[in-house]
Amino acid sequence: MWMEAGLPADGQNTRAQARPATGIVHLGLGAFFRAFGCVYIADAMAASGGNWGIVGVSLRSPDTRDALRASDWSYTSVSLAPEGDKLREIAVLNDVLVAPENPKAVIAAMADPAVKIVTLTVTEKGYCHNPATGALNLDHPDIRHDLAYDLPVSAPGYLVCALAARHVAGVAPFTVLTCDNLPENGKLVRGLVLELAARIDPALANWIATEGRFPSTMVDRITPATTGADIARIATLTGVADAAPVMHESFSQWAVEDNFVNGVRPDLEAAGVEMVRDVTAHEHMKLRMLNGTHSALAYAGYLAGHDTIADTMADPVFADYARALWAEIMPTVTAPESVSLTAYAEALFDRYANPAIRHRTWQIAMDGSQKLPQRILGTLHENLAEGRKADGLCVALAAWMRYVSGTDEAGQPIDVRDPLADRLRNLAAGQDTPADVVTAILSVEDIFPADLADQLRGPVSKAAEKIWSNGVRTTVQGVT
C-alpha cells in the first residue's frame, strides 16, 4: 500500500522492494493488463515465489513507458466499488520498451532464454486477421511490411521473429498466452503465427507447430480509462505522484488452459486463476453474455446520450433491454461446470450498474468491426438458424450501423475509432434509406460472411428503420 508513503522531494515515486527477475514479456502494455495480468502475476509470486517479472512492450506509442518510468515502473491499482476505493501498489514491471524506437531490443527481450512466456493484449485488431474467417490478412499493411523486411511492426511479426531467434539459438520456444477477447484465442493466434512463419521459413513453422504452446484464455475485469481527475485523486490519497494508475472493478476472473512449454509457468492457481483443460465454455459464455451485451449497450447507450454503461443501466429502458439481450443469448451458451447462466447474468447486471465504474460507452464502442463477429454475430447466426427470437441483437447491430455512419441522433459528428471507419462511413453516406445503409454495410465481407449477410438483411433493416425514424431509446423500449 502507498497510503502511508510520503512524497519524495523530487515528486517521483520510489520503489523499495527488489525486482523479480524477468520471466515474461508482455506485448501491448495498456491499462487492462496492468489492472489484470500484472496483479495476478504479483499474487502468484507473493504466494509461491518465482522469477516472473515482466518487461512490457508498447507496440505504438511511448506514452505508457514515459508515464511509468518516473515511478521506476510501479503504479497504483485502484479497485472501484460502491463502498469505496481500495488501493494497491503493483511492482512487477522491470522495464517498458517501445517497439518502434528499438525493435531489436524487443526481439532480444523475447528471445532471452530466461523468458518463458509472452503474453499479449493487443486488442482484436492487433492480430491483423480477418475477423470473419480467422485467417491472417495478407493485405494488412503491417503484415505486408513484415513479409518484406527483417524487423517487424505487427504483434504476429514480433512473435515469429523472436521465435525464429530462439530456434536458431537452440532455445525452447516461449509459451504464447493471449489475453484478448477472441474465440479460441490461443488456437487463433497459433494459426496466425504458423501462417506467417510458413511464408518466411517453413522449417521454423514446423518447429513452432511441434514445440510451441498457445493456451487459450478467458479474461474478465472491467477497466475504464484513467482520467486526469483520477490521477489527481490518487496523488491526494497516497501522497505519491503516479502518472499511470489503473482503475478497475473489484471482480476479476481468469481461466487458462494448462498447456505451457515444458509445463513452466507461475503458480497461477495460488493467485485465483482457474487452470482448466478446455477454456471454450468459459470464453464462449463471457464473449456472448458480457462482451456482446457490453457492445450492444455501448452503441445504443451512446446514441441515446448516455456517457457510461452505469448511466445507461440507470435508465430503466436500457436495464430492461439488457435483460432481454441475455434472454436471447443464453440459449446459445453452454454453461461451464457448476455455473448458472441466470446467476451470471444477474452478476453482470450488478457490475454494469456499479456507479463507481465510469466505463464510457464511447470507449467500449471502439473497433466494432473487429469485435462484432465474436461478440454478436455468432449468437445472431445461431438464433436465426434455430428460428429463435433475436430482435434485441438485431437492434444492437442496427445501432452499431447508425453509430459508424458518423452522426448521432442530434446530427452531431461521432468520433468513430475503428480500422474500417472511413470505409463504413463512406458506405453509409448517400444511401436513400436505413435499409440501404444496412445492405451497404452488410456487403463488407471482412465482417459479414455472405450467407449470414443474407439472413440479417431483413431483420436488421427492420430495426434500422425504427432507429432512424423513432430514435434508439424508443426502439429499445419495444424489445421485450
Instruction: Tell me the three-class secondary structure of 329-396, residue by residue.
Output: HHHHCCCCCCCCHHHHHHHHHHHHHCCCCCCEHHHHCCCHHHHHHHHHHHHHHHHHHCCCCCHHHHHH
Same domain? 33 vs 171? yes
pLDDT computed for residue 19 by the predictor: 83
Determine the average pLDDT of the residues in 268-282: 97
pLDDT per position as a tens digit, 106-152? 999 999 999 999 999 999 999 999 998 999 999 999 999 999 999 99
Same domain? 454 vs 409? yes
Task: Say how far apart CA 313 and CA 359 lie, in whole Å.
Answer: 12
What residues have CB less than 8 Å from 283, skipping those under 6 apart? 183, 184, 185, 216, 217, 218, 255
Q: How many domains is the chain built from? A: 2
Determine the average pLDDT of the residues in 445-474: 96
Task: Say how far apart CA 395 and CA 384 lie, in whole Å.
Answer: 14
Same domain? 271 vs 285? no
Same domain? 252 vs 297? no
How many of the other CB atoms lie within 10 Å of CB of 257? 21
Identify whether the C-beta of residue 383 lies closer than 8 Å to the C-beta of residue 363: no
Residue 281: pLDDT above 90?
yes
The strands making up 117-120's β-sheet, listed across from edge to edge, are 93-98, 53-58, 22-27, 117-120, 175-178
Residue 82: pLDDT above 90?
no
Identify whether the C-beta of residue 364 lies closer than 8 Å to the C-beta of residue 415: no
Q: Is 5 within the bounds of a domain? A: no
Same domain? 341 vs 410? yes
pLDDT computed for residue 17 by the predictor: 57
Q: Which domain holds residue 404?
A: 280-477
Same domain? 130 vs 270? yes
Identify whether the C-beta of residue 28 lies closer than 8 Å to the C-beta of residue 118: no
Q: 83 pLDDT band (50/70/90 cuts)?
A: confident
Grid cell digits, residue 80 = 472501484
Q: Is 10 within the bounds of a domain? A: no
Q: Among 224, 248, 276, give the residue marking a domain's end.
A: 276
pLDDT per position as a tens digit, 6-55? 233 233 344 445 789 999 999 999 999 999 999 999 999 999 999 999 99
Beta strands 93-98; 53-58: pairing state: parallel
Q: Which helix (H) or strand (E) holds 242?
A: none
Same domain? 143 vs 157? yes
Residue 430: pLDDT above 90?
no
How many of the other CB atoms lie within 10 Å of CB of 69? 15
Task: Say how far apart CA 309 and CA 288 lie, in whole Å.
Answer: 17
Q: Among 276, 303, 329, give the residue marking a domain's end.
A: 276
* Of the candidate ranges 9-23, 289-303, 407-421, the one whose mean pLDDT is the lowest: 9-23
Please identify which residue in the block is written with the cell numbers 464502442.
365
Task: Say how far apart CA 164 and CA 156 lie, in whole Å.
Answer: 12
Residues linked to residue 413 through DSSP beta bridges, in sequence order = 407
pLDDT per position as a tens digit, 179-226? 999 999 999 999 999 999 999 999 999 999 999 999 999 999 999 999
Same domain? 472 vs 419? yes
Helices within 201-289 (DSSP H only): 202-211, 228-238, 280-285
pLDDT computed for residue 220 by the predictor: 97
Residue 343: pLDDT above 50?
yes
Identify the DSSP state of 290.
I
Instruction: Tell me the percentage of the chain whose pLDDT exceeds 70.
Output: 96
How many of the other CB atoms lie within 10 Å of CB of 8? 12
Report the CATH number that the domain containing residue 161 is assigned in CATH: 3.40.50.720
10 Å CB burial of residue 303 (0-12, 13-18, 19+) is buried
pLDDT computed for residue 396 by the predictor: 98
Same domain? 289 vs 155? no
Q: Is 9 within the bounds of a domain? A: no
Same domain? 264 vs 310? no
Residue 346: pLDDT above 90?
yes
Q: Is 300 within the bounds of a domain? A: yes
Same domain? 405 vs 300? yes
How many CA atoms lie less than 13 Å away from 35 in the CB half-sphere? 26
Residue 364: pLDDT above 80?
yes
pLDDT per position as a tens digit, 218-262? 999 999 999 999 999 999 999 999 999 999 999 999 999 999 999
Task: Say how far apart CA 343 and CA 332 lie, in whole Å.
Answer: 16
Q: Is 116 within the bounds of a domain? A: yes
Q: Which of helix, strand or coil describes residue 440?
A: helix
- Three-state SS for 207-222 is HHHHHCECCCEEEECC
Q: Among 221, 247, 276, give the residue marking a domain's end.
A: 276
pLDDT computed for residue 8 by the predictor: 32
Backbone angles phi, psi at 86, to 5 degrees: -120, 125
Rg of the chain in Å (alpha carbons): 22
Identify the DSSP state of 126.
G
pTM: 0.90
Q: Is 248 within the bounds of a domain? A: yes
pLDDT computed for residue 457 by the predictor: 97
Average pLDDT, the chain: 94
Identify whether the C-beta of residue 331 lies closer than 8 Å to the C-beta of residue 284: no
Identify whether the C-beta of residue 299 lies closer than 8 Å to the C-beta of residue 365: yes
Q: Is 256 within the bounds of a domain? A: yes
Task: Say how far apart CA 224 and CA 209 lie, in whole Å.
Answer: 37
Report the CATH number that the domain containing residue 311 is assigned in CATH: 1.10.1040.10
Identify whether the C-beta of residue 351 lies closer than 8 Å to the C-beta of residue 310: no
10 Å CB burial of residue 6 (0-12, 13-18, 19+) is exposed
Task: Say how far apart CA 350 and CA 146 lie, in whole Å.
Answer: 44
Same domain? 268 vs 285? no
Q: Is 236 within the bounds of a domain? A: yes
Determine the average pLDDT of the residues in 168-174: 98
Residues linked to residue 26 through DSSP beta bridges, in sequence order = 56, 119
